[in-house]
Structure formats: C-alpha cells, structure tokens
C-alpha cells in the first residue's frame, strides 16, 4: 500500500460488521461459484508447501527494496517460478515479473496479483529475520522494511503458483501471475508506474484476462479473517500542492512584505471547511488533509514562499471533481485578498478500488469455505490501492487478510509502522483463498 493509506489504518480494529453480504449480493442474480473438483487436493498441496512459503517470506522480508528498485526481489521471484516449471517474463513495468500457467483443459483466463516493494521505514520488530537494509529515499538515508506486508503477498502468490502448477493438467483455463513493483508509489520522474504501467504494458491482454483476484494483509484484523466489500471499497487518492508566493521582508517589519506563512495558514484552515460544510457526507465520505507545510529558513525572516502538500480521498467522481475545484478557488481567493499569489497543482493518483458486484457475489461462497465463520464485510476504507487500475480494465475482487493475534486486535502497530508484525499462521488462509478462488472461478466458467 501507498503512504496514502496511513490515514485509515487506525480504523482497522473496527472493520467488522456482524452481517455478511451474501444474501444481498446473491439477490442481484449472480450465480455462486461451486467448489472445484480440485478443492481437496488444493488444500493438501497448500499444507505441504507451508515450509517453503515460510522460507520465501522470511528471505524476502530480510531483503526489501524500494519502489522501482526491486531488482533482486524480481530475480528471486523469477527463479522460484522457473523452479515450478513456468517461464516468467521479467522487467515488466521496469522491475515486475509475470508468469503464465496454461491449464490442461480449455477455459477462461484469470490473473492473480502481488506487490513487491518495501517502504522507507527502519524496522524495529525483534525477529531473527528483521530487515537491516538501508537505502536512499528522497535524498535521505533511510532504513527499508516490508512494513506493509508485500513480502507476505509475494510468498502467498508463489505458494499459489506452486499449487496450481501441480494440478495444471486438470486446470480448465489460464492463470497470469502478476508480481508488481512500485505499489507504494514511484518518484515523479518514473511515472506511470506500478499497476498503471503494468496495465499499459499489456499484462491483462495476452492472454485476455476475464477476472483478477488480489489480497492484502492487514493489521488489527484477527489472524485468518477475511474482509471484503462489494462495489466501492477503497478511496481514490489525489495529491495537491499549493505554492504561496508572497514578498520577503524582515520579521520585525511585516508591513513591508507579504507573509506567505500567514496566507498558507489561512488556506489550511479554510480547506477544512470543504468536507465539513460543502460535501454531502450522507452521499459519500471524503477527506482533505494537509500533510506538509514548508516555509522559511530563519526565525526573523518572513520568506518569499510557502508550500502546502496534501491528499484528497473520495468515493465518488462528482465529489472528487467538486473538491478539486473548491481547493483551487479557496487558495486563489485567500491569496488574492492578502496580496499574494498561488499555484495550485492537483494530481490524480489511484482511482477508486471497486469490487465488481457480480464477481463478489459469485466468489463469496469460496471465501466462506476457505475461512468458515471468519468472513466479514468491511466498512469503506479511505486508504487507496493501485490495484484499482486492474479493476478499471476487468472485473476484480480485492480483499483483506487479517494477520494480528486476536488478543492484540485494536492495539497492534498498524501497516507502515516500524513495529508492523505478521502472525505467519494466517498466511495459509491467504494461499488457500487465492488458489480456491482461481480453481472455483475457472471450473464454473468452463462449465458455462
């Protein structure tokens, strides 16, 4: 996940509602997927691959790499895929890896995705395989850590690939395994990146993918639980930058200049009225947050400029466009009244992550068989995921896997924390979920 997700991670302790979505979804007419004839064998293979899955996860955890720098990670992943008998393609979307498994029986094509990049976070977790890696990020020396669980995603998808290659001759269709770089976001001069670039380079086109599945581990969701939501699930994430241009002067004589810090402060305050007074929150929630305020170099100098940077989260395109217009109008109005000027830049990053309703209804019984009594509907999540770029092309189902021991739920360090901890016992559920979703979807689609 991107750094944009920090705003919602603290909400995860309250993710669950006791009602499941199956009745309302099935009422829409979607035919649920039945268990594949391979189901029992998949479970046996999933249990058998656990020692290797654990080894892969810990190896990758010790060796995280930042976005678009996942060269050694990609090599490790590709080598494992080759050992399964696959022929992976590397350097996709710069450092991504893609492998295609052609089943022994005719059928449609599906895709499974895992992200590969780590975060500029220095690990503080006391485990033998903790990361000691350091690197450069934005000109600074930083520690690097898989603080959002992408190491687990890769290990889960590798294990899934291992399982499905073992039943390849009886698999009715094709599976594309996508190991994606730069989910956390790449430098501006390296965009597009991540899922957006993967799509542009055709990972869903040859073979033409009919549906895509993906998961993400989540702190403060009980280990082994699965959470999902039909329709809009995670927010669109946009970035805004406001450069306030004043006129420099001595701090003792403010009347001889135009103070961009004061103007910037008024803009920060006024931006808070957009959601509280202008957005119909009964229709869709929204967030406007200023995360950076940079100005000045000395206590007694009023500077020329101030820089504000923030994030916008929305679940509705009309609301999104309205907020963009209001930010620009507010900043320009306040600056003009103070004798300053502004430059406002708003960049659309990740679209809304939206699970296809029919696909969700169809595959929900599979999730419930994988984790009986442990599947819950999620609230809307104001964090963002570039998985949304795949869903703009084909129907997709994205869900969360809980990785926090039950006794720690509500107080465990969140994703992106240097203390982020994964209960590895939960990962078997993730492997089984992806493998069964694939087999169930292909078997029911082939029977149509």
Catalytic residues: 117, 183
Length of the chain: 448
Coil vs helix vs strand at 240: strand
**Apex CA 179: angle with CA 177 and CA 181, to 5°?**
155
Comparing CA positions, the residue from 98, 92, 284 lying closest to residue 201 is 92
Distance of CA 170 to the CA centre of its chain: 32
Element holding 23 (H helix, E strand)? helix 22-26
Contact call for residues 434 and 158 (beta carbons, < 8 A): no
Contact call for residues 36 and 440 (beta carbons, < 8 A): yes
DSSP, res 413? P
Coil vs helix vs strand at 311: strand
Contact call for residues 3 and 381 (beta carbons, < 8 A): no
Distance CA 245, CA 241 (A): 13
- Return the CA Rg of the chain: 23
Give strand pairing partners of 341. Answer: 245
**Apex CA 74: angle with CA 73 and CA 80, to 5°?**
95
**Residues contacting 309, CB < 8 A, separation 6+:** 239, 240, 241, 242, 290, 291, 292, 294
Q: State both tokens at 70.
A: 């996942």
Maximum Cα interatomic distance, the chain, rounded to a whole number of Å: 81
Q: State both tokens at 436.
A: 């069964």
Strands annotated E in 122-261: 134-137, 140-143, 172-180, 211-222, 226-228, 231-234, 236-245, 249-250
Burial of residue 113 (number of CB atoms within 10 Å: 0-12, 13-18, 19+): buried
Give strand pairing partners of 377. Answer: 228
Distance CA 284, CA 143 (A): 38
DSSP, res 420? -
Contact call for residues 70 and 80 (beta carbons, < 8 A): no
């Amino acid at each position: 996940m991107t750094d944009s997700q920090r705003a919602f991670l603290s909400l995860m302790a309250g993710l669950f509602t006791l009602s499941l979505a199956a009745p309302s979804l099935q009422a829409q007419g979607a035919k649920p997927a039945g268990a594949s004839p391979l189901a029992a064998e998949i479970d046996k293979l999933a249990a058998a691959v656990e020692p290797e899955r654990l080894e892969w996860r810990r190896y990758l955890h010790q060796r995280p790499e930042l976005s678009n720098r996942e060269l050694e990670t990609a090599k490790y992943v590709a080598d494992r895929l080759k050992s399964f008998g696959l022929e992976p393609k590397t350097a996709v979307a710069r450092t991504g890896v893609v492998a295609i498994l052609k089943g022994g029986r005719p059928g449609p094509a599906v895709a499974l995705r895992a992200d590969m990049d780590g975060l500029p976070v220095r690990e503080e977790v006391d485990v033998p395989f903790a990361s000691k890696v350091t690197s450069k990020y934005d000109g600074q020396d930083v520690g690097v850590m898989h603080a959002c669980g992408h190491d687990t995603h890769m290990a889960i998808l590798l294990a899934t690939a291992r399982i499905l290659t073992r039943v390849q001759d009886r698999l009715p269709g094709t599976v594309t395994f996508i190991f994606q770089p730069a989910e956390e976001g790449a430098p501006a001069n390296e965009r597009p990146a991540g899922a957006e670039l993967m799509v542009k380079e055709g990972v869903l086109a040859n073979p033409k993918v009919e549906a895509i599945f993906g998961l993400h581990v989540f702190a403060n969701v009980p280990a082994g639980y699965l959470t999902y939501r039909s329709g809009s699930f995670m927010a669109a994430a946009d970035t805004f930058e406001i450069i306030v241009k004043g006129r420099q002067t001595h701090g003792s004589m403010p009347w001889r200049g135009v103070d961009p810090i004061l103007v910037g402060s008024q803009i920060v305050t006024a931006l808070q009225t957009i959601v509280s007074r202008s957005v119909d929150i009964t229709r869709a929630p929204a967030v406007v947050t200023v995360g950076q305020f940079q100005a000045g170099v000395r206590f007694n100098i009023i500077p020329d400029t101030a820089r504000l940077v923030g994030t916008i989260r929305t679940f509705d395109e009309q609301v999104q466009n309205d907020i963009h217009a209001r930010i620009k109008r507010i900043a320009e109005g306040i600056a003009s009244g103070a004798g300053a000027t502004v430059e406002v830049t708003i960049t659309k990053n990740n679209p809304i992550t939206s699970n296809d309703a029919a696909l969700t209804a169809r595959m929900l019984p599979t999730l419930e068989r994988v984790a009986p009594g442990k599947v819950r509907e999620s609230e809307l999540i104001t964090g963002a995921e570039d998985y949304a770029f795949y869903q703009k092309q084909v129907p997709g189902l994205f869900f969360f896997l809980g990785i926090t021991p039950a006794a720690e739920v509500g107080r465990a360090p969140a994703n992106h924390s240097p203390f982020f901890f994964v209960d590895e016992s939960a990962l078997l559920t993730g492997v089984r979920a992806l493998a069964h979703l694939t087999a169930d979807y292909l078997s029911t689609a082939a029977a149509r």
